[in-house]
Structure 1
Amino acid sequence: MCTPAQPSPPGCDTVGTVRWRVIPVILGATLLTACDGGAAAVRQQPETSSPPSRTASSPASATSAPATSATPAGKAMVVVLDPGHNGGNAANPSVINKPVPAGRGATKPCNTTGTATNAGYGEHAFNWDVARRVGGELSAKGVRVVFTRDSDTGVGPCVDRRAALGNEAHADAVVSIHADGSEAAGAHGFHVAYSDPPLNSAQGQPSYLLAQALRDGLRKAGFGVSNYLGSDGLAPRSDLAGLNLSTRPAALVECGNMRDTGEATLMSTADGRQRYADAITAAILSYLGD
């Protein structure tokens, strides 16, 4: 449903563009190198950075492991946070329109621009801010956090690469953070998507329980469930690449509809984004058994 290189309507899950090689360098840092020769950048892991201010308008800036593998005793739980889209996507249509594997034998564009409020506040910025806030809170609880992108000014990575990052990190949970852009009259509320029918054991009960935890956490925090998509805040999906390609428990949160006046106002404020972050953090910790 996403139109590449244009502000997207509801349900945009495509993300990323550049293929990266992830090389551990030192404790608390990860070296990202473009697989086809791009410049390297160092991504700081959130356990070494402070969470964004509650009043700041914006923060500073695989297929591998068995789906049933547990975190070894004494090691930190690992959560991969996937802030949807990226701030540089709109200026790079030829990159984000490139088809990539999307699971179930399908392909999708590498990424889209995401949606925006009617006043122009971009979904990519909302996703990034909320994810950084969640990451800071989880790190303070001893959780190891990995982000699928390291800024809101880049391009990508592609949806298939984002899924691979969760798999390679042996994540105990992968949470994609988005906002919707439905033009339907009166459409509002959040929903949480999970892969269905499942393609592996992690996409079965573990992902369903993660989706339930996120739904319950947002509802407990006072957010209303979607009145236009899914049922009771849950949306089983077979078309979202990041979920299809995951071998770890994964879910995608559409925090609300950016085209709804009330939800757009909330999403556009630092206090509103903190409310979303607090709810998502509590939900993830509940799922992890904290």
Structure 2
Amino acid sequence: MRQHPIPQNVLDVEFKLFTKFTLKEFAYLATGVSIGGIFLYLTSRGDIPGVIGIPIFVIFAGLGTFFALVPINDQPADKAIANFFTAINRPTQRVWLNDKLKDERIKPELTTGEELNKPKIIGASEIPPVQKIDDFDENPGDDILSEKKLVDIEQVQSSKPVENTENIITISEENISKYQFSIKSVDKLPGNINIWLCTKDNQPLSDINTYLKDINGKILYANKTGPNGYFLTNKVYPEGVYIIEFEGVPTTTPSLRIVVNKDFNKLPLRITLK
């Protein structure tokens, strides 16, 4: 005869007494009715007045039935009540994320064996000072300007690439292949303008204030590069010309002028600073 495993906890909700009625639910019901029955018995003997004994019987029997059969938010009543008091007495805050937000917070991973011999940005004149910002994690969607209402911005189209100057470097469809590199999780990136900031030794530069502006210099999005050196935008920007400026880098660096066209993809741009 085949042996069956012995349950370690017979009061567990998974241990069924009969049909869907568990032993735990039966224990709640039996306890409530039994305690109430004691008062009902004392009432029948005349030891307790009926106006006291009968309501007590109804209360205990009702509590037993409630804990045994009534779910709260698809949870057993005892667990739901315990979780409620635990939540209001514990200072820990919980953030519930759906699958979409969880995917957006996954950091991209570099593909092994990828060609890393890319052009380097040589230092130029200093960028005008901008307002300091607080620390933010490297999570796409953490827009430090989200508290301010941004008006619609007219995108300026570019018909031909602008030549590189001492203070600004232009990245367009003619030379973007020199800067972009493949990553495994590119489809999970919410935005299409993404930067990986690193040194000539491929060491990521973190906590660098990075600003995305339109052609008129208005800030569209701002964030700090995270521990892995990534600046990830939180949405797909339409065709136009955009400016990327860095603040807090060890050396002076030129700005980036990025020309976005209809074929522009989400692959990050590798920007190397000396």
TM-score by length of 2: 0.21
TM-score by length of 1: 0.20
| Pair member with larger Rg | 2
Greater fraction of residues in helix: 1
Q: Which has the higher contact order (CA 8 A, sep 6+)?
A: 1
